[in-house]
């Protein structure tokens, strides 16, 4: 089977698993936890796309996630102007467009400096969300009332775990499939080449800023889509959503799962949420334990949990 | 007379207080393979960097078949037909060898990638990530990335660096065949005098950022100052 065919088949199988999980898990705490996990998995995916295609580590992706949530919330709240579907779509497109413009500048910054820059930009967005009370509701947050129907589905579907789980699950699978297809495309190959050796790519005749900015934009758009789902489900968004610790968590999920595959960050998000749920019961220091786990994974599985199958198939030193 | 394939006038470049190039003139005839030699630190790599757009010159101009390319960046120079390889291997470590060549070929609308893989003995490695191949394979990949197209003028900065004497000669012979068959003009920076004398029609000698001598291999061999400057430092 061709690579694209495999991705398609994998995506279909994963999509089909959604209803199965929904049938097995009774509505309740666990299911709503899974909804949150899917939504944050999309954020982790966006961080992973940036790491894989651009080789860049972001400490600021909560800003894109939060911007998607705020813009969708504001769009839905503006009475009788835009159809809800258009407002949601515009939220994602606006974040994507802004990230493209921003990308043209920030992708010229590399390594640690880029990570610091994203951290600073992210915190600037956090401050803005706090200060712009008129638009964002400031520290109190923004409460969003959904219209009666969105995309032909009753609003309640989006705000109950049974309904939202399927929606978030399918969105997550579709976006991961998109990321996997991108990585296999000509454009994906070019961006990976630029990641590996930007100078040589230029000497092969390629401009390197536009492709990198495009990846940054795509990554921002994926994060914004996660934010849109977030606000639909919770009917609320506050500056906490934009806080750097959210960016940090997304990065932990992406690294835990590994960024060499599109599904790695998703697996990382699942492990993060399920483990946190268990650890919180046991100790307040769950974050510390999670940190230790991350260190162990980084040391023994530099490609993250998604590197495990490969590692098992081809033990160290047995590379082709 | 037709325009030179590559023509440089008055190229200069400084690193802080160090003048790495001090007014270099160079003319390559279409189709020739020119050797560029000189002791360590003579400015050979700096000259290739300025010619290829990697480093700006502080003075001077570069023309490619008469077209002024002085102000162009590396990517634009590649499109104009000027390609280069690197003294320190510059490839895409995690990507498969074949994919790298495809990427290089696609940009310039070339169709010779598969053939070049065969000719440089890389076809068997097409699916292997470059970082898992031998050093010699990586050197030939670096060369292949520059040669695909083919470009009109090729700047090679010690393509045989780090290879054994035997491997160097083999690579040089292959290079001469490939360049001749494609009509590519080559500027070859090379430490190994045997290689240079074997495949270059003319040789330029650089010392302390300036041209010391230029001529046929026979003339260069007999040039007293070249013998002094070059053999002196090569022995060190
Ligand atoms: N990036 C740099 N910063 C400072 N000085 C440099 C730099 N690159 C080269 N130089 C200096 O410029 C001069 C020319 O160096 P260059 O690398 O061009 O020589 P070369 O002829 O290629 O030598 P080699 O045979 O060792 O490759 C040397 O004095 C070198 O120290
Ligand atoms: Mg050099």
Q: Phi then psi for A14, rounded to 5 degrees? A: -65, -40
pTM over 0.90: yes
Both structure tokens of A92? 């994602």
CA of B84 to the centre of ligand 2 (A): 13
- pLDDT-based confidence at A318, cuts 50/70/90? very low
pLDDT range class, residue A320, cuts 50, 70, 90: very low
Q: Ligand 1: which of B18, B190, B192, B233 to mutate, most ligand atoms within 8 Å of CB?
A: B18
Which residue's C-alpha comes closest to atom 22 of ligand 1? B45
- Torsion angle of the four alpha carbons B195, B199, B205, B209, in this order, in degrees rounded to the nearest 10: -80
Element (H, E) at B178: helix B165-182
Residue range B76-100: mean pLDDT, rounded: 97
Residue B234 has pLDDT above 60, yes or no: no
Q: Tens of pLDDT along B26-77? A: 999 999 999 999 999 999 999 999 999 999 988 999 999 999 999 999 999 9
Residue B51's pLDDT is: 98
Tell which wins on pLDDT, B229 or B76: B76
pLDDT band at B1 (very low <50, low <70, confident <90, very high): low
B184 secondary structure, DSSP code = -
CB neighbours of A262 closer than 8 A, spacing ≥ 6? Answer: A45, A48, A49, A176, A177, A179, A180, A183
Backbone angles phi, psi at B213, to 5 degrees: -160, 160
What is the rounded CA–CA span in Å between residue A83 and residue A85? 6
Of the listed ranges A78-92, A241-255, B5-19, B55-69, the least confidently predicted one is: A78-92
Closest atom, ligand 1, to C-alpha of B209: 14
Average pLDDT over residues B206-230: 89
B191-202 confidence digits (pLDDT tens) = 888 899 999 999
Give me the residues paired with residue B154 across strands.
B83, B186
Question: Is beta strand B33-37 parallel, antiparallel or unpaired with respect to B185-189?
Answer: parallel
State residue A313's pLDDT score.
79
SS3 A282: helix
CA B205 to centroid of ligand 2, rounded, Å? 13
Say yes or no for a CB contact (<8 Å) between A189 and B99. yes
Q: Provide residues with CB under 6 Å of ligand 1.
A: B 15, 18, 20, 38, 40-46, 87
B20 near A CB under 8 A: no
Question: N- to C-terminal Cα distance for chain B?
Answer: 43
Predicted confidence at residue A157, as pLDDT, reads 95
Token pair in block for residue B183:
């009509």
User: Of all residues in chain A, what percent carry a pLDDT higher than 90?
Assistant: 80
Q: Three-state DSSP class for A92?
A: helix
């Amino acid at each position: 089977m061709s690579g694209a065919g495999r991705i398609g088949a994998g995506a279909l199988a994963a999509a089909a698993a959604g209803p199965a999980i929904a049938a097995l898990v009774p509505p309740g705490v666990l299911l709503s936890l899974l909804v949150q996990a899917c939504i944050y998995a999309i954020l982790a995916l966006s961080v992973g796309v940036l790491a894989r295609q651009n080789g860049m580590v972001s400490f600021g992706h909560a800003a894109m996630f939060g911007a998607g949530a705020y813009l969708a919330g504001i769009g839905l709240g503006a009475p009788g102007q835009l159809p809800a579907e258009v407002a949601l779509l515009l939220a994602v497109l606006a974040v994507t467009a802004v990230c493209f413009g921003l990308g043209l500048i920030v992708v010229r910054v590399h390594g640690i400096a880029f990570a610091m820059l994203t951290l600073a930009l992210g915190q600037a967005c956090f401050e803005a969300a706090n200060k712009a009370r008129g638009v964002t509701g400031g520290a109190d947050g923004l409460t969003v009332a959904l219209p009666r129907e969105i995309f032909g589905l009753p609003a309640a579907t989006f705000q109950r775990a049974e309904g939202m789980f399927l929606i978030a699950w399918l969105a997550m699978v579709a976006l991961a499939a998109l990321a996997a297809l991108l990585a296999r495309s000509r454009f994906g190959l070019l961006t990976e080449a630029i990641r590996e050796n930007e100078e040589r790519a230029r000497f092969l005749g390629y401009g390197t800023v536009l492709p990198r900015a495009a990846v940054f934009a795509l990554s921002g758009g994926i994060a914004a889509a996660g934010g849109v789902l977030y606000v639909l489900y919770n009917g609320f968004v506050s500056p906490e959503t934009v806080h750097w610790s959210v960016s940090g968590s997304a990065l932990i999920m992406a690294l835990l799962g590994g960024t060499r595959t599109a599904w790695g960050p998703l697996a990382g998000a699942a492990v993060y949420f399920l483990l946190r749920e268990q650890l919180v019961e046991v100790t307040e220091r769950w974050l510390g334990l999670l940190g230790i786990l991350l260190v162990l994974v980084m040391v023994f599985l530099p490609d993250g949990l998604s590197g495990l199958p490969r590692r098992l198939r081809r033990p160290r030193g047995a590379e082709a | 007379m037709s325009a030179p394939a590559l023509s440089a006038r008055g190229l200069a470049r400084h690193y802080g207080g160090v003048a790495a190039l001090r007014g270099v003139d160079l003319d390559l005839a279409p189709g020739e393979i020119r050797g560029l030699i000189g002791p360590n630190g003579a400015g050979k790599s700096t000259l290739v960097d300025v010619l290829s757009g990697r480093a700006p010159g502080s003075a001077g101009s570069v023309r490619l078949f008469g077209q002024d390319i002085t102000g162009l960046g590396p990517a634009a120079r590649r499109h104009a037909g000027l390609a280069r390889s690197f003294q320190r291997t510059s490839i895409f470590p995690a990507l498969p060898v074949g994919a790298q060549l495809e990427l290089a070929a696609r940009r310039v609308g070339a169709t010779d990638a598969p053939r070049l893989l065969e000719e440089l003995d890389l076809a068997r490695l097409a699916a292997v990530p470059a970082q898992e191949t031998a050093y010699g394979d990586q050197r030939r990949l670096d060369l292949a990335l520059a040669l695909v197209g083919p470009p009109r003028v090729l700047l090679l900065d010690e393509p045989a660096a780090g290879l054994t004497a035997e491997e160097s000669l083999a690579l040089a012979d292959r290079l001469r065949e490939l360049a001749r068959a494609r009509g590519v003009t080559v500027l070859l920076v090379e430490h190994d005098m045997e290689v240079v004398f074997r495949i270059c029609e003319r040789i330029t000698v650089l010392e302390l950022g300036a041209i010391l001598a230029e001529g046929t291999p026979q003339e260069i061999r007999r040039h007293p100052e070249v013998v002094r400057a070059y053999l002196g430092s090569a022995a060190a």
